[in-house]
Structure 1
Amino acid sequence: MIAERHGFRGSGTQRRPVAGWQLVCAVGVWLGLFSSAAFAQQSDPWTLQLKPNVTVTSSIVRVEDVVQPVSIPDNVWDQLRKSTVGLIPTDGRPLQLMRYRLAEALNHSKLVTAPILWVGPESTSVRSNPVVQVAAKVVTTVAEVAPKEIDPQSKRLIERVVEKAMQDYENDFEYKIDWERLPIAQVEEITSYQRVAVPTTITAGVARFVLTSAVEGEKREVPVYLQINELPRAIVATQNLSRGQIIGPSQLQWKVIDSTVRSDHLATDMSQLIGQEVKRNVPAGRWVQQTDVGPPILVRRNDMVEVMVVGGAIVIRTGGKAMGEGSEGDLIQIETIEDRKRLLARVISTGLVEIVTRAPQVQR
């Protein structure tokens, strides 16, 4: 009756019904075998190798810096390799990493779903190389901020415009365009300049020129800075200068010193020459040297001079004869007319000398 109840019939030998607990056991064994096979498939060990002593370019040490993958799924390694495992000490000492410590850290990661087989050294030392790091940073920075160079055609155009504006000063000054201060973005697309604003006075130093143009009907002003230096100049005679002649402004002019000319003794101060006396002949067009001129001679040898004798508040005037020549302030010998006595006198002006005597002392 039981077989029938579970629907088992037969004309021959009857099958015995399977007990419920036996069926449960069979299913349990089958599931256990399946789970064991699946676990065995998932738990194939991954192999990682600890690198020997390494050098990094950052103070942060990551998994990929110290670990070499041997057998591990690529998708897992791509996520695991960027994980941070330590920091380089700030005092410059190397970081010591033990393999078992690294294994413990990775085992706590959710990315690790299989046992890890480690090979390689038991520990590793990690050093930082800041020189490499700084050098790489400097190269990157220079590349990022490298200034844009001016177009050669635009540069030549500016040079021609400035050269024309400086034509009137080429005999007095030399200049150099400061390209680093040129706003390169403003000169783009400019093919000509209509106007150049030049400083009212050109002197040595930095000068600002303003070049004006128009681009698509829009006015554009470009500032151009020049470093201007005065050319080395000296003074030449415009006419023959004779010995004893007093120099006037029309007899001198400036001239740029050629590189082949020695300028050690050339006169370079016009104010010191005007009113001076020529000591030796100077042909027209020749450089005037400092030794060619001197203070005017006010008293010449054998000139009759007026002699002032000053003693305290008393001044005595008499006549005398110059025994030498001298300029203002020079000391010369004179001879008195009456007793032909020779005295030392100082030249005051043309034909006038002075003898200074000590003021009388009051005896007590």
Structure 2
Amino acid sequence: MMLGREFWVLTAVFLALAASGRADVVVAARTLRAQAVIGPEDVGLAEGTIPGALISLSEAIGQEARNAIYAGRVIRIDDVGPPAVIERNQIVPLLYRRGALSIQAEGRALGRGGVGDSLRAINITSRTTVTGLVAPDGTLVVFSNE
């Protein structure tokens, strides 16, 4: 029963978008859970012009859904991001850099984050909360307190 409803919702959205404009936008082909990595079978193109919407399948494929995306819904830039490399409560290396000096410590992540995301963590030794950028190797590069 649910599959039939999703089909009709998707069909209605495709038709509405096709009638409203000439540019392509990316839409969800099926309902995507939050934190799901988007594959080629999960998305499609429809005609339409919607500000903030993805316009190429390559912008969505391989990205992670930041929240639930329902079948037939246009996928916007803020709906997706890089897949998380750090999970909440994970022990992560913290890297403090200032000029030629760099110090490494351990921290506990206070949230999930993908490469380039700003993320908070607690330094396990000093018990202070720090904020840094997630590096591709899962290290949190801590912002300077200048």
TM superposition score normalised by structure 1: 0.30
Match of 1:221 in 2: none
Q: What is the one-letter code of the residue matched to 1:332?
A: L
Match of 1:317 among 92, 100, 104: 104
Contact 1:307 1:317 in 2 (8 A): yes
Q: Does 1:295 align with 2:86?
A: no
Q: Is 1:244 the counterpart of 2:35 in the alignment?
A: yes
Take 2:131 and 2:73, find their aligned partners in 1: how far apart are those partners?
39
Q: Which has the larger radius of gyration?
A: 1
- For residues 51-90 of structure 1, the aligned pairs below 5 Å read none
The answer to whether the 8 Å contact 1:334/1:343 transfers is: yes
Partner of 2:124 in structure 1? 337
Letter in 2 for 1:232: A
Alpha carbons of structure 1 residues 236 and 308: separation in structure 2 relative to 1, 3 Å: same
Alignment of 1:270 onto 2:57: yes
Cα-to-partner distance string for 1:199-237 (whole Å, 9 max, x where unaligned): xxxxxxxxxxxxxxxxxxxxxxxxxxxxxxx94322222
What secondary structure is seen at the aligned counterpart in 1 of 2:113? coil
Partners in 1 of 2:98 and 2:53 — Cα distance?
Answer: 44
- Decide whether the 8 Å contact of 2:81 with 2:114 is kept in 1: no
Q: Distance in 2 between matches of 1:353 and 1:319?
A: 10
Aligned partner of 1:349: which letter? P
User: Could you list the per-position Cα deviations for residues 166-219 of structure 1 after superposition, in whole angstroms to 9, with x for gaps in the alignment?
Assistant: xxxxxxxxxxxxxxxxxxxxxxxxxxxxxxxxxxxxxxxxxxxxxxxxxxxxxx
- Deviation larger for 247-256 or 287-296: 287-296
Quote how far apart the aligned CAs of 1:353 are. 0.5
Q: Alignment length, in residue pairs?
A: 125
Structure 1 pair 274/303, CA: closer, same or farther in 2 (3 Å)?
Answer: same
Q: For 1:233-252, what per-residue CA distance to the aligned partner results, in whole angstroms no more than 9, with x for missing partners?
A: 22222233111012123322
Trace 1:101-140 onto structure 2 (pairs within 5 A): none
> What CA distance in whole angstroms lies between the structure 2 residues aligned with 1:335 and 1:263?
40
The structure 1 residue matched to 2:134, chosen from 331, 343, 347, is 347
The aligned amino acid for 2:69 is: V
Q: Residue by residue, what CA displacement relative to the aligned partner does 1:341-362 show, whole Å, maximum 9, x if unpaired?
A: 322322213631113659xxxx
**Is the contact made by 1:310 and 1:316 (CA closer than 8 Å) also made in structure 2?**
yes
Aligned to 1:255: 46
Identity of aligned residues (%): 28
1:113 maps to none
Equivalent residues in 2 for 1:8-27 (5 A)? none
Select which of 16, 20, 24 maps to 1:233. Answer: 24
Partners of 1:247 and 1:278 within 8 A in 2: yes
Paired AA for residue 251 in structure 1: D
| TM-superposed deviation, 1:305 | 0.7
The whole-number CA distance in structure 2 between the counterparts of 1:278 and 1:238 is 13
Q: Would you say the 8 A contact 1:234–1:268 is kept in 2?
A: yes
Give CA deviations for 1:44-94 in whole Å, capped at 9, x if unaligned: xxxxxxxxxxxxxxxxxxxxxxxxxxxxxxxxxxxxxxxxxxxxxxxxxxx
Extract unaligned runs of 5+ from structure 1: 1-229, 359-364
How far apart in 1 are the matches of 2:89 and 2:80? 23
Change in Cα spacing, 1:343 to 1:287, as seen in structure 2 (3 Å) is closer
Measured on the aligned residues, the alpha-carbon RMSD in Å equals 2.9
Secondary structure (helix, strand or coil) at the match of 1:329 reads coil
Structure 1 residues 254 and 357: alpha-carbon distance in aligned structure 2, compared to 1, 3 A threshold: closer
CA contact (8 A) 1:308 1:316 kept: yes
Question: How has the CA–CA distance of structure 1 residues 272 and 340 changed in structure 2, closer, same or farther, with 3 Å as cutoff?
Answer: same
